[in-house]
């Protein structure tokens, strides 16, 4: 195991060399990575599991897709703070019988995305797993001191916005689940297979003082808005008709409302802004939609086209382990 681990580390190190970031003083190959982050900056840290059978399946997801999604989860958390990503760390445990080509393609998917955002792969850990592929991605980023956008700063009266469209990822998963034998064309379902973290949008929302609170839609709208409400001590009212629903497949079809409300892993940004702010319809080429407002209290309501209000419970996001 140790020898194959060594070979794996050497391989990863070699691949990672092509992606550099000047904040990384020492990367893979020591007890710790050494980073020199700009002063006047706060450091952002996020960690996210990608577990086979829980977050992905080898028969549904290409190795490149798994690598891309693994890092995208972390980058999206940095985006949700309005931060700039700097370095990633990968803890990777593989079953003993793992084929090298899978690992190479996984690393390619991960490092292509890292290169796009100038994120260095600066370290991590390797191990042999007893079952399945286990990855944990750690991303470090920066935001100017005290300027990171938290979940806890939404105020009653703030408007609620979401970027892009919702439900595309979960609806794709449903399709995979219903016809597991049929391979989907990944290019027709990009939001599921190759989600693009909203790094630039997040940075713009912070730099221009637009957003008051922000989160990424990794757990699904109903859960993610409940996180903002809980942390900010507020309630919310969402307008059902305004929630932007994703279109997926070929021919393209709009997803059901339930996916947009409860489906996770869209990695869009959900944010609030003071009522006086005027927002353009697009920022950084991404559609921005007002979908409701923050209220006093702690309840979350959904108002439908007939003006009927009902409580919206966080239904959460169970990946596909059940």
Among 64, 216, 265, 268, binds its own copies (CB under 8 A): 216
Alpha carbons 104 and 63: distance in angstroms, whole number: 8
Write out the binding residues for its own copies, residues 185-214 only, by CB under 8 A: 214
Closest CA to 106 of 86, 77, 138, 135: 135
Among 45, 207, 282, 296, binds its own copies (CB under 8 A): 45
Q: Which is nearer to its own copies, 49 or 297 (CB)?
A: 49
- The encoded tokens of residue 207 equal 């730099």
Sequence-separated (6 or more) residues with CB below 8 Å from residue 79: 197, 198, 199, 201, 202, 203, 216, 269
Among 71, 114, 120, 122, binds its own copies (CB under 8 A): 122
Q: Which is nearer to its own copies, 219 or 239 (CB)?
A: 219
Count of residues engaged in binding its own copies, rule: CB under 8 A: 75
- The encoded tokens of residue 157 equal 């009266």
Terminal-to-terminal C-alpha distance of the chain: 32
Sequence-separated (6 or more) residues with CB below 8 Å from residue 278: none
Q: Closest approach of Cβ 213 to its own copies, in Å? A: 10
**CB contact at 8 A, 242 and 290:** yes
Backbone angles phi, psi at 211, to 5 degrees: -85, 140
- Assess 97 for contact with its own copies (CB under 8 A): no
- ∠ at Cα 153 (149, 159), nearest 5°? 95
Alpha carbons 90 and 114: distance in angstroms, whole number: 12
Q: Which is nearer to its own copies, 189 or 267 (CB)?
A: 267
- Piece of 59-67, 76-84, 163-171, 176-184 that binds its own copies (CB under 8 A): 76-84
- Assess 129 for contact with its own copies (CB under 8 A): yes
- Assess 89 for contact with its own copies (CB under 8 A): yes
- Assess 141 for contact with its own copies (CB under 8 A): yes
Among 127, 209, 296, 298, binds its own copies (CB under 8 A): 127
Among 17, 34, 208, 310, binds its own copies (CB under 8 A): 34
Among 93, 133, 246, 248, binds its own copies (CB under 8 A): 93
Among 63, 67, 83, 195, binds its own copies (CB under 8 A): 83
């Amino acid at each position: 195991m140790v020898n194959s681990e060594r070979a794996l580390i050497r391989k990863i190190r070699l691949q990672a060399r092509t992606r550099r970031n000047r904040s990384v003083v020492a990367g893979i190959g020591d007890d710790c990575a050494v980073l020199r982050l700009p002063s006047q900056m706060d450091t952002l840290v996020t960690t996210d599991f990608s577990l086979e059978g829980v977050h992905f399946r080898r028969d549904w997801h290409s190795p490149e897709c798994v690598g891309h999604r693994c890092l995208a989860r972390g980058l999206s958390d940095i985006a949700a703070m309005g931060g700039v990503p700097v370095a990633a760390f990968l803890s990777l445990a593989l079953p003993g019988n793992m084929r090298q080509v899978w690992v190479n393609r996984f690393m390619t998917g991960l490092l292509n995305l890292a290169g796009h955002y100038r994120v260095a792969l600066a370290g991590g850990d390797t191990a042999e797993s007893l079952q399945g592929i286990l990855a944990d991605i750690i991303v470090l980023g920066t935001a100017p001191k005290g300027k990171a956008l938290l979940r806890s700063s939404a105020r009653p009266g703030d408007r609620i916005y979401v970027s892009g469209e919702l439900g595309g990822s979960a609806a794709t998963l449903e399709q995979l689940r219903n016809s597991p034998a049929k391979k989907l064309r990944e290019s027709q379902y990009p939001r599921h297979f190759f989600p693009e973290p909203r790094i630039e949008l997040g940075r713009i929302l912070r730099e221009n003082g637009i957003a008051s609170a922000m989160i990424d839609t990794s757990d699904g709208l109903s859960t993610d808005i409940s996180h903002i409400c809980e942390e900010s001590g507020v309630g919310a009212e969402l307008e059902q008709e305004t929630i932007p629903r994703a279109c997926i497949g070929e021919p393209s079809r709009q997803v059901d409302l339930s996916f947009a409300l409860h489906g996770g892993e869209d990695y869009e940004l959900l944010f609030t802004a003071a009522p006086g702010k005027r927002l353009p319809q697009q920022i950084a080429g991404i559609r921005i939609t007002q979908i409701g407002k923050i209220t006093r209290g702690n309840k979350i309501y959904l108002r439908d086209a007939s003006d009927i209000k009902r409580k919206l419970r966080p239904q959460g996001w169970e990946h596909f382990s059940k």
